[in-house]
A and B are shown apart, each in its own frame.
Chain A
């Protein structure tokens, strides 16, 4: 079954404690992306990756890091989380063959930073 898997689904952490949200896809997609979803603001792109070792900033990259060492994995790293990073996070993957019009999303990670 084609899927994007994020872990964990829920996370409560304290300010400043480094955390990583993992994302893995099994569709051999070149393109992966991270979004955060906030009420009234919709989905905003944090970082995206066109392929292994190729990443670029989206609209809201401050406070986040990513890496793409393998095609299937695209972890999101918060080095020093702050309360304003409390949000619902989604990882997505897609193929350039569809011009990235069909993105497959994970189930989401609800992060609370206290």
Chain B
């Protein structure tokens, strides 16, 4: 079993839709959870991170961690074509970081 599992997609949605991206993780010792966005031919960029359980909101993006089910989610409201990218979830305890395989998202205008 991979330490962080993520559905690779691709996921295709119309502009304006609410997008839900999900991951599961197995290492309970890692308390920090991140979402990165990666555009084609670029390095990943941090979108947001959360510590332990709960929600965190930043504009159209909401990150959610459910430690009881070991589930990480990213919600994108009012999705835009510019949101088309690969989204990577990650889990870290400090030095070692484990990434999911990434979900490719396409937002159609």
Interface string of A90-114 (1 = CB under 8 A from B): 1010001001111101111000000
Q: Which 5 A/B pairs are nearest by Cβ-Cβ distance? A: A105-B43, A42-B101, A43-B99, A101-B49, A102-B46
Contact flag A107-B44 (CB < 8 Å), given A48-B95, A101-B32? no
Chain B residues with CB under 8 Å of A44's CB are 99
Are B94 and A103 neighbours in the complex by a CB distance under 8 Å? no
Interface string of B18-47 (1 = CB under 8 A from A): 000000000000001010000001111110
Are B34 and A101 neighbours in the complex by a CB distance under 8 Å? yes
Are B99 and A96 neighbours in the complex by a CB distance under 8 Å? no
CB distance from A45 to the nearest CB of B (A): 6
Are A45 and B49 neighbours in the complex by a CB distance under 8 Å? no
B→A interface (CB under 8 Å)? 6, 8, 32, 34, 41-46, 49, 88, 90, 92, 94-102
Are B100 and A103 neighbours in the complex by a CB distance under 8 Å? no
Chain B residues with CB under 8 Å of A61's CB are none
Find B32's partner among A40, A43, A96, A99 (CB 8 Å cutoff): A99
Chain B residue, CB-CB nearest to A98: B49
Are A45 and B101 neighbours in the complex by a CB distance under 8 Å? no
Are B95 and A101 neighbours in the complex by a CB distance under 8 Å? no
Contact flag A40-B49 (CB < 8 Å), given A105-B43, A107-B42? no
6 contacting pairs across A/B (C-beta < 8 A): A33-B97, A40-B101, A100-B32, A101-B46, A101-B49, A106-B43
Find B43's partner among A41, A59, A101, A108 (CB 8 Å cutoff): A108
A44 to B2, CA, bound (A): 11
CB distance from B57 to the nearest CB of A (A): 17
* A50 in the interface (beta carbon within 8 A): yes
Are B92 and A42 neighbours in the complex by a CB distance under 8 Å? no
Are A100 and B94 neighbours in the complex by a CB distance under 8 Å? yes
Chain B residues with CB under 8 Å of A45's CB are 96-98
A100 to B32, CA, bound (A): 9
Chain A residues with CB under 8 Å of B6's CB are 42
Are A42 and B100 neighbours in the complex by a CB distance under 8 Å? yes
* A74 in the interface (beta carbon within 8 A): no
